[in-house]
Amino acid sequence: MGPLRENGELLFFPIKNEEEAIIFVNGKRLVLNDGLAHLTLLEYLRGLGLTGTKLGCGEGGCGACTVMLSCYNTVKQRTVHRAINACLAPLYSVEGMHVITVEGIGNQHQGLHPVQETLCNSHGSQCGFCTPGFVMSMYALLRSSKEPPSHEQIEESLAGNLCRCTGYRPILDAFRIFAKTDNTLYSYNASTNTSGDAKVICPSTGKPCDCGERVGNDSKDIGTSHPVYKPLSFSEVDGSFYGNRELIFPPELLSRKPHPLYLTGPRGMSWFRPLNLQDVLDLKSRFPDAKLVIGNTEVGIETRFKSIHYQVLIAATHVPELNILRVKEDGLEIGASVTLTELVDTLKQCIAQRDAHETSACSSFVEQLRWFAGIQIRNFASVGGNICTASPISDLNPLWMAARAQFNIIDCKGSVRTVFAREFFKGYRKVDLRHDEILLSVFLPFTRQGEYVKEFKQAHRRDDDIALVNAGMRVFLEQKDDAWSIVDASLVYGGVAPVSLSAVKTEVFLKGKPWTLQTLQGALQVLQHDIIIAENAPGGMVEFRQSLTRSFFFKFFLCISYNIQQKTQVLLGLPNSYKSAVDPYKRPSSKGVQSYECPLNGTAVGLPVVHLSAKLQVTGEAEYADDIPMPSNGLHAALVLSKKPHARIHSLDDSAAKAVPGFQGFFTAKDVPGGNDIGPTVNDEELFASELVTCVGQVIGIVVADTYENAKIASKMIQVEYEELPAVLCIRDALRAGSFHPNSERFLQEGDVDKCFSSGICYKIIDGEVQIGGQEHFYLEPNSTLIWTADGGNEVHMISSTQAPQKHQKYVSHVLGLPMNKVVCKTKRLGGGFGGKETRSAFIAAAAAVPCYLLRRPIRITLDRDIDMMITGQRHAFLGKYKVGFSQEGKILALDLEIYNNGGNSLDLSFSVLERAIFHSDNVYEIQNVRIKGNVCFTNLPSHTAFRGFGGPQGMLITENWIEHIARVLGKRPEEIREFNFQKEGYVLHYGQKLEQCRLQQVFNELKESCDFDTSRKEVDKFNSLNRWKKRGVAMVPTKFGISFTTKFMNQAGALVQVYTDGTVLLTHGGVEMGQGLHTKVAQIAASALGIPVNSIFISETSTDKVPNASPTAASASSDMYGAAVLDACEQIKSRMAPVAAKNRHTSFSELAQACHMERIDLSAHGFHATPDIGFDWRCGKGKPFNYFTFGAAFAEVEVDTLTGDFHLREVDIVMDLGNSLNPAIDIGQVEGAFIQGLGWCVLEEVKWGDPAHQYVRPGHLFTQGPGTYKLPTVNDIPLKFKVSLLKGAPNQRAIHSSKAVGEPPLFLASAAFFAIKDAILAARKETGHEGWFVLDSPATPERIRMACADEFTQPFADSKFRPKLSV
């Protein structure tokens, strides 16, 4: 660290040696060494061993890396606390600040913080990988709030955090206790009462409750060796309020003045932090290509995912001239370095303090920024950075342009020029800035009387999503008598061109025209030809985007017209039914209700016990594979992947890679010591491609180096020469080419379909096609393995994030040529799996095993999110072709069905997925004549694999589509057709299994009563009759899910139970804990069996050297199987202890265990369970593939904006038959989590491949490779009312303690939301005469919803039968 000189001339302020670059982390002062300019804050923190901060995506889209950043604001004279994404923040950008991570606010040893404790006790953590991020987002909100936050503020603060497990409801419930109604209720005096039976008053509701116990502060003495905590109070400087142990803002930083920085990084990288504008200009003069960074939200993405290397970065965060926020008489001056959060705060002040007519633009910016990224991004990203990035889908640039904003630009000589925002954007990512200029500030003028500015945006998802199309619109009106004329207008669109685009012809047309419906129609006609999107435009969805340009303008017209009508009583001829189209979306806080009983069995079974690892997870102490410390001689690995979907490899050249510092080797097929052929069912894959590649992302080799960054750089420098070959990229291509996996056809038949069709007994025979898109697992924890050799290479050990440790053991032993008894795989826990880590994680570990074994050095491989999504497979896309005959009453008489799934380039589990889809193709309906044919398509895409439901949801969704088709043809409600055809007790299914303990009708009846379906239907119909552009829909959907692996030998489980002399129990079984609560349930079973409390049971890890040959943790059957195996082992131990217990009276289990030990009784037992009476023979098409069935049903009500395709879930009601629940809290968490994951599959999450449907994507490449392009549900996508009930008094005789499996069955119930959306669309189509059956593909994204509504705004671009393109 020191001054930079060039040609002997001092370039930058000298930095004195005593002025160290420092950072405080959790109260500890640390010196930042030179040479670290390439590191992010996340990498630095994890390097310190603070692994509670997780790497989930690397692009600020998941929130797993959230930390709180505190700095002293000299202008406001107080400390500012903000949540930020550590994965994007450059390390040196937080110099002189205080970073608090999840470890800094509480831990098991010192006690949990109230935020951690309430989340733990509310069952708000399942897999736990996302949990520290949620904790820190909530913690930062509390530390930054003077007043208690509102429910809405809490939900908004969590919008930048993703959870794939919980469904969000328990997280929101946990944090609602901080939305206080009375501040005094949180003081110790108020919550302490001398009367023993007095209840604590809940600060949230103001009513008596027991939440005080959950959120009370830990009063233990933490000792003087720990960081200093501040008492409970609010401080302007520190912002402490919500605990008596908050880390104070370091006093050194209060008095420390910022100083200029010059620091370096590898590959000649320089990092500057000037303190005044002149120094910025001097640096820009010296380094014209230097990048100015504030939040690094764009540069961070470029460097991580686009491999762009910037030599010089200038941090403009500390320059006063660039941080101006000045309210003037005519507008607002905004410095380029001002963060978006600071901008919103100032805009809100202006709105509160100035006349309403002046702040129309201010209000539009506030509303647009409400949906701009997550709060972590807004806290760090700057106004100038967003502008100068010049993204064609920028949410703000159209508004700057429309609102007459001016940009002040300064050059290196200090000359300032002003450019109107409309003239600033010159082309794709090009702006009117020379190399020697920077953006100084923005001037946003206040609006005038009669001037209105309005924002618009439509994205895949409302929260934290980039726009598909957005707009900023302004009109300046002048009143003449009772009429209004247009003085000036500005319509600017984003997402329609390479640059934010003004509708110039429409603007010209509008000027001077009266503000009337006639002008509206004329403007729409001009606009149709003014904004034209090319057919092959990047991003696709051309028809949808074109229609949005018209819909937005129509909304703008309505908004201004109703505003005028309200203020002046001038009527413009608008019907009342139009008004809801422009009502602002104000989401009330969501509410959850859970209904269940707790039939206690023994000491623990049946109780809602908190997840065993919950405390570890909320404190960030829970270890995942990538958190395990790296051995000192360990190496990092990066895969070399194919860039072609189908090609012959001509040559490999690693000469450039060898020159990368730290490079240790490149390994390919020729280096594999054992077999290069792998596969979970058949060995149709290669570990490393030897001659041919059959998909983009296929592994060609692996590079190892001293750091992950060096390994990545080297992997990208491996040169591969290809000879390209023809590729099959979708199911329809495969059908045309006859491209199927060998021997993958399946056929089932019951009755005589052809005879039924030809006999004339069918009132109608219908046919159709159902397309179902895929789904990315998006487990928050990417695939990771740490592998090492022992005993001179004679043994291989690994820690892997896998659902199937035995498969890792098998793959590694095979590729290394070692016997399985010399390979051990251990798994502590997973940060989510959902089937994605059942088979597709094994080849990653096997690839790392090769250099590990050959070099005799530990290897770590952890996939980046984009690589993980690209190479590990997804839920199968399906195509179903049906032909159904039925009676006039709606009785199903015959079904002829063809189903195809997209298997990708290897068979993997696709055959078994197809089989389950065939089994579930009846869902819950009696069909006497059935013929089903299925086949697995071979395509040149990465192999698709298991995903929660395993083909069952796809089969059932096809069924529910033709059920609805029948209903529309007959003019009946789909619910009538469903219930009329329900299967009943004793019914023999189309594969020969007799239905037993069928509680379908009972479940459906309870749901109808719970949701009051008939009333809901009438209320929705009434709403639809009163509203033209908003429509509501309802649906009730049932499900029946078979429980068992359909491959018989996999239905077995082992466990090892060991009792120690102190009465504690160590339990090991073959199942893997991945958030589903398996370990917790198994511990409850053991505790009840042995008559001891759950806290006497410990489960350390899953390991192949403890329980051999374990089946993958999948198929929802793990609690059944491993619970039974554990019970078997416990019963063995109990039977051995019984004689000793009979001899003497023992006061405790520990005393009994000690006595048994003295009697030389074996206190260790291996338990085993094999599911009885199951098996299926495909040769005859008959058998009993399932042990039993889990039944459920769901009701959903939605509201759709027919002009944009936007929707929200108003209500969801679910009833599940789960027998006697082992743990109702965990089971309800599984139901809610599965539903929200299913909601993503049905309506939000669209996978896009480079296939014939998406020609703007390179062939075979995955377009949706991260949270930026692939949209999971967020906290604001859950139902406003979310009720889950477990059927009471319904024991299951076929599983342990009369319970039922829960993991997969509820997922399909999310299709109720899909069909409710379809119901709402039907109401919209009736308005334009398009009645009856129509096709809606899944997922029902805003594009599909909007285009299906088929009105005058879509008509110029597509007809009423238009089906948007879908990757299948």
List residues with catalytic annotation.
1304
The residues, ordered by sequence, that sit 6+ positions from 127 with a Cβ below 8 Å of its Cβ are 164, 165, 779, 780, 781, 829, 830, 831, 832, 1074, 1075
CA pair distance 125, 617, nearest whole angstrom: 7
Q: How far is CA 188 from CA 67, 142, 222, in A?
A: 28, 18, 19
Whether 1026 contacts 1114, CB under 8 Å = no
Q: One-letter amino acid identity for 624?
A: Y
> Cis (ω within 30 of 0) for the bond into 1339?
yes
Beta bridge partners of 1200: 1031, 1207
The bridge status of strand 208-209 relative to strand 200-201 is: antiparallel
Q: Which pair of structure tokens corresponds to residue 7?
A: 């040609």
Q: Hey, which residues does 1262 pair with through a beta bridge?
A: 1249
The span from the CA of 447 to the CA of 1251, in Å, is: 47
Query: Collapsing DSSP states into helix, strand and coil, what is residue 1146?
Result: coil
| Nearest-angstrom CA–CA distance, 295 and 341 | 12
Cα–Cα distance measured from residue 861 to residue 844, given in angstroms and rounded to the nearest whole number: 8
Q: How many C-beta atoms lie closer than 10 Å to residue 342's C-beta?
A: 22
Angle of the 1342-1349 helix axis to the 542-568 helix axis, nearest 10: 70
For residue 1090 the two structure tokens come to 């042995």
Neighbours of 375 (CB within 10 A): 26
**How far apart are the C-alpha atoms of 174 and 170, rounded to whole Å?**
6
DSSP 463-496: SS--EEEEEEEEEEEEEETTEEEEEEEEEEEESS
DSSP state of 420: E
List CB contacts of 418: < 8 A, sequence separation 6 or more: 406, 407, 408, 409, 443
Using an 8 Å Cβ cutoff, are 934 and 970 in contact?
A: no
Q: What are the structure tokens assigned to 1187, written together?
A: 């042990």
**Distance from C-alpha of 158 to C-alpha of 155, rounded to nearest angstrom:** 5
> Could you give the C-alpha distances from 988 to 917, 925, 1292, in angstroms and in order?
18, 11, 19
Residue partners of 621: CB distance under 8 A and separation at least 6: 52, 103, 107, 108, 615
User: Between helices 517-530 and 542-568, what is the axis angle to 10°?
Assistant: 160
CB neighbourhood size of 59 (10 A): 23
CA distance 622 to 615: 8
The span from the CA of 168 to the CA of 162, in Å, is 9
Say which DSSP state 442 is in. E
Name the residue with tokens 């003019």.
971
How far, in Å, CA of 1158 to CA of 1147, rounded?
A: 17
- Between the alpha carbon of residue 569 and those of residues 487, 560, 565, 610, 1115, the distances in Å are 21, 13, 5, 59, 63
HSE of 536, CA atoms in CB hemisphere, 13 A: 6
Query: How are the residues of the chain apportioned to helix, strand and coil, as percentages rounded to the nearest 5?
Result: 30, 25, 45
